[in-house]
Amino acid sequence: MSKNLVIVESPAKAKTIESYLGQDFTVKSSFGHVRDLPEHDMGVDVEHDFQPSYEISSDKVKVISELKKLAKDAEVWLATDDDREGEAISWHLKEALGLPDDTKRIVFREITKTALQNAIAKPRTIDADLVDAQQARRILDRLVGYELSPVLWKKIRIGKSNLSAGRVQSVAVRIIVEREREIDAFKSKSSFKVTAHFDLGNGKVLNAELAKNFPTEQEAYQFLEKCIGAQFSIRNLEVKPAKKSPAPPFTTSTLQQEASRKLSFSVAQTMTVAQRLYEAGKISYMRTDSTNLSEEALDKSKQQITKEYGDEYHHRRIFKTKSESAQEAHEAIRPTDFSTLVGSSDRNEQRLYELVWKRAIASQMSDAQLERTTATISISTTSEELVAQGEVIKFEGFLKVYLESSDDEVDGNPDEEQKGMLPPLNVGQILKLADMKATERFTRNPPRYTEASLVKKLEEMGIGRPSTYAPTISTILKREYIVKEDRQGFEREFKEITLANEQIKSKVNKEVYGSEKAKLFPTSTGMVVNDFLVSHFQDIVDYSFTASVEKDFDHIAEGQLGWQQMIKNFYTPFQKKVAEAREEAIDKSLTSRDLGEDPATGKKVSVRIGKYGPYVQIGDVEDEEKPRFASLAKGQLMETITLDEAFELFKLPRQVGFFEDKDMVVNVGKFGPYVKHDGKYYSLAKTDDPMAVTEDRLVEIIEEKRLQDSNRTIKEFAEDPEAKVLNGRYGPYIAFGKKNVKIPKGTEPASLTYEQVLKLAAETPDKPAGRGARKPAAAAKAPAAKKPAAKKATKKG
């Protein structure tokens, strides 16, 4: 047995570390947290200084038993991650294994031989302040969830058993809800943008524009009239040097944002892939809010830059993190070896590794040197002038490697866009007008959040920390308070006035606007829960208050504040508000809204939230005749649906023609719009409108699904109709009753025999098979008044 036992939280991390430490060290994994607050009980004694009751997680009993055996005759080194979460895991391991208080704790920010040797040479003990900061977060979030969730179940009776609130998640939902209301209240205004194209001969064109927009079509038309017969000439040429500087190396949030923009990764995907790269020893620790680089990293990056690009491309930079809470002793995310260009054979891992490598290298490279030219063009018939701008790169500098992206809708600045180089021009040069256009343009509503821009917003507000962003977004998506999806745009007309050949012509064009890609939208449930919390628990969703709680956690970590006192300061007024909310009458206005009357029957029309989401109802349950119900369509909100839109929903189900002598019926169910044909259900595409989809399109949908299903089956077996070899989303597999069985690498799926299938199925543990295609539910039924079942405590926020 080895003399030393090193315990980490990840098996992959353990494997990498063991390869560096040698035979005297055994490295084992705890597989994450080993103790937590009880699953079905609050586990916090509020009467006795908020004392927590931790228990070993049921899935970690065996792990703890094995670690105890190994620790009995070895010196234990706790080597969990170098942050509060990692410190807490080490402390829980110490408690669960019965280790002494002076057990060695080692930390490192990268998994390299040098970093590990340095850590072994400088062990410390567990930092109680960091543990207390993590305990405070865990306990506070448990108190909030455990106290608030029952209030939500009682006061917002919408039939959903998973209603709950969390400190950071509820604020994130509020940000998205408020942005949606901003968009709904936004009134777009139009103006006319003037652009001109000048023919310079030899195929060269000069593009210019008027600095101002005209508020009305008449003013734009009058300006073009002035330009009939005018002489255009270069009044002034201004050439200025300019430069661009690189962005700092990645922090957790900037990595999440850039991976979203450049790689289309979700926040959770970015963290999963980064975790694998870290555990493989390819990048430094990926949970950090520091932009600092170590002296070693600065030296190694210099070597790589001068070797690959030359001395003139290197420029040493020390970045200062803006966040007050950032720990400058930590590092930004960077490669562990700048000379390694390939970090993984996995495509996504390599793409993220390249992003980290380029950003870190670029941060230590020279500024890009530019030359910007501005040409001012005078018009003989008016005092207004046109402007043409262009730029040329004189020295690439860091642009040779990397250019930071931006969210165009939020940060895009036309002055910062890369502009083309202007053709040769001279002051006094007469220009020949090819055409001039005044095009109607519309102001844009505030953009909806992407996962990346939400992370950026939370970070700017000081809410949450690097380790919380991904689980926060995952939680509110899972609870269906928000949805992440693409949405089609809308068509509108715009006017264009053109001056060409001394004649003015007007025409009306069409454009699509407002299309959304991977944006976050609030659901009706999310809006209802948000409004209840804003009304009754302002502190929980207050931005500055939530940020101040994060600062309190920082003060605990620094040893400046006791965690029990911090919890008490929060809990005493919070508990009072919970008691008050429990006593208040149920506010039905949160979960229902009257829209008007049905002119055909005189019955009330309302919109409500039921077990399967929001729906429209004509009539009341007290009426002699049973009310009629219709589910809201995708993208419709209880808060904004109109009476006319509600009546449209009752046009479903729609009978839309026939196919193979069977009718096709379009409807919307729990899982979205579908067409029913010959007793089978076929989902409509996201781009199909159930109110407008045509007969031909429905036939196309049915035939596409049939073709897909026919290609799905690779092989069937006469011995057992439930044994099949199928094509799945991730490749071929065996479906054997309720088991999904993996096919070994190198095995040709079509060549499998029934005996081989039996053997493989026997070796595969019992597991419920995937659901596959689900039958769409009918429109929402009247919700039964149901008492919510007892709910387990809300997990960590």
Provide mean pLDDT across the span 694-720: 88
755 versus 417: the higher-pLDDT residue is 755
Q: What is the pLDDT of residue 159?
A: 57
Structure tokens at 219: 């003013």
Provide mean pLDDT across the span 506-525: 93
Q: Is the pLDDT of residue 770 over 80?
A: no
Q: What is the pLDDT of residue 2?
A: 65
pLDDT-wise least confident of 195-204, 285-294, 399-408, 491-500:
399-408
Q: What angle do CA 251, 252, 255 make, to 5 degrees?
A: 80
State the DSSP H helix or E strand holding residue 492, giving kind and residue range, or none if neither. Answer: strand 490-500
Shortest CA distance to 749 belongs to which of 707, 713, 709, 710?
Answer: 713
Shortest CA distance to 365 belongs to which of 403, 418, 335?
Answer: 403
Angle between helices 128-155 and 543-557 (to 10 degrees): 150
Residues whose CB falls within 8 Å of the CB of residue 286, separated by 6 or more in sequence, listed in order: 252, 255, 271, 274, 275, 277, 278, 333
pLDDT digits (tens, 9 = 90+) for 210-237: 999 999 999 999 999 999 999 999 999 9
Q: Is the pLDDT of residue 129 over 90?
A: yes
CA distance 274 to 284: 9
CA distance 718 to 739: 18
Cis geometry, peptide bond prior to residue 614 (ω within 30 degrees of 0): no
Residues whose CB falls within 8 Å of the CB of residue 128, separated by 6 or more in sequence, listed in order: none
Q: What is the pLDDT of residue 570?
A: 92
Beta carbons of 289 and 467 less than 8 angstroms apart = no
Q: What is the DSSP string of 338-349?
A: TT-----SSHHH
Q: What is the pLDDT of residue 686?
A: 76
Q: Is the pLDDT of residue 397 over 90?
A: yes
Provide mean pLDDT across the span 166-185: 94
675 pLDDT band, cuts 50/70/90, is very high
746 pLDDT band, cuts 50/70/90, is confident
Q: What is the pLDDT of residue 777?
A: 36
Q: What is the pLDDT of residue 419?
A: 61
Q: Count the Cβ atoms, other than its own, within 10 Å of residue 161.
A: 12
Q: Is the pLDDT of residue 328 over 50?
A: no
Q: CA 492, 495, 501, 504: dihedral to nearest 10 degrees?
A: 150
CA distance 673 to 644: 20
> How many CA within 13 A on the CB side of residue 88?
21
pLDDT digits (tens, 9 = 90+) for 434-452: 999 999 999 999 999 999 9
- Percent of the chain clearing pLDDT 90 (strictly above): 61
588 versus 579: the higher-pLDDT residue is 579
Highest mean pLDDT among 103-112, 418-427, 461-470, 732-741: 103-112
SS3 state at 450 = coil
Q: Is the pLDDT of residue 664 over 50?
A: yes
Q: Is the pLDDT of residue 784 over 80?
A: no
Residues whose CB falls within 8 Å of the CB of residue 401, separated by 6 or more in sequence, listed in order: 358, 361, 362, 365
Q: Is the pLDDT of residue 792 over 50?
A: no
328 versus 678: the higher-pLDDT residue is 678
CA distance 261 to 271: 15
Beta carbons of 187 and 193 less than 8 angstroms apart = no
AA letter at 714: I
Q: Is the pLDDT of residue 776 over 80?
A: no
pLDDT-wise least confident of 45-59, 285-299, 609-623, 635-649:
609-623
Q: What is the pLDDT of residue 775?
A: 35
Cα–Cα distances (Å) from 423 to 210, 234, 377, 415, 761, in that order, read 19, 13, 14, 19, 70
Catalytic position from the list 285, 309, 615, 682: 285
CA distance 79 to 83: 11
Q: Count the Cβ atoms, other than its own, within 10 Å of residue 613.
A: 18
SS3 state at 499 = strand
pLDDT-wise least confident of 286-295, 310-319, 613-622:
613-622
CA distance 308 to 339: 10
Q: Is the pLDDT of residue 365 over 90?
A: yes
Provide mean pLDDT across the span 452-472: 90
Annotated catalytic residue 285: yes
CA distance 672 to 633: 8
Q: Is the pLDDT of residue 326 over 70?
A: no
729 versus 560: the higher-pLDDT residue is 560
Beta carbons of 444 and 409 less than 8 angstroms apart = yes
Q: Is the pLDDT of residue 411 over 80?
A: no
- Percent of the chain clearing pLDDT 70 (strictly above): 92
780 pLDDT band, cuts 50/70/90, is very low
Per-chain mean pLDDT for the chain: 88
Q: What is the pLDDT of residue 771?
A: 37
153 versus 182: the higher-pLDDT residue is 182
633: left (phi over 0), alpha (psi -120 to 50) or beta: beta
Q: What share of the chain is helix, strand, coil (3-state, %, to 5)?
A: 35, 25, 40
Q: What is the pLDDT of residue 4?
A: 92
Provide mean pLDDT across the span 148-165: 76
Beta carbons of 152 and 519 less than 8 angstroms apart = no
Q: Is the pLDDT of residue 35 over 80?
A: yes
Cα–Cα distances (Å) from 291 to 255, 302, 304, 511, 758, in that order, read 11, 17, 20, 43, 55
Structure tokens at 313: 């491309």
> How many CA within 13 A on the CB side of residue 737?
11
pLDDT digits (tens, 9 = 90+) for 162-171: 678 888 899 9
Residues whose CB falls within 8 Å of the CB of residue 612, separated by 6 or more in sequence, listed in order: 159, 631, 670, 777, 780, 781
Q: Is the pLDDT of residue 206 over 80?
A: yes
Q: Is the pLDDT of residue 189 over 50?
A: yes
Task: Confirm whether pTM is higher than 0.95.
Answer: no
pLDDT-wise least confident of 25-29, 120-124, 211-215, 581-585:
581-585
Q: Is the pLDDT of residue 324 over 80?
A: no
Q: Is the pLDDT of residue 769 over 60?
A: no
Provide mean pLDDT across the span 337-350: 94
Q: Is the pLDDT of residue 690 over 70?
A: yes
Q: Is the pLDDT of residue 584 over 90?
A: no
Beta carbons of 226 and 232 less than 8 angstroms apart = no
Q: Is the pLDDT of residue 779 over 50?
A: no
State the DSSP H helix or E strand holding residue 751, giving kind and residue range, or none if neither. Answer: none
Q: Is the pLDDT of residue 202 over 90?
A: no
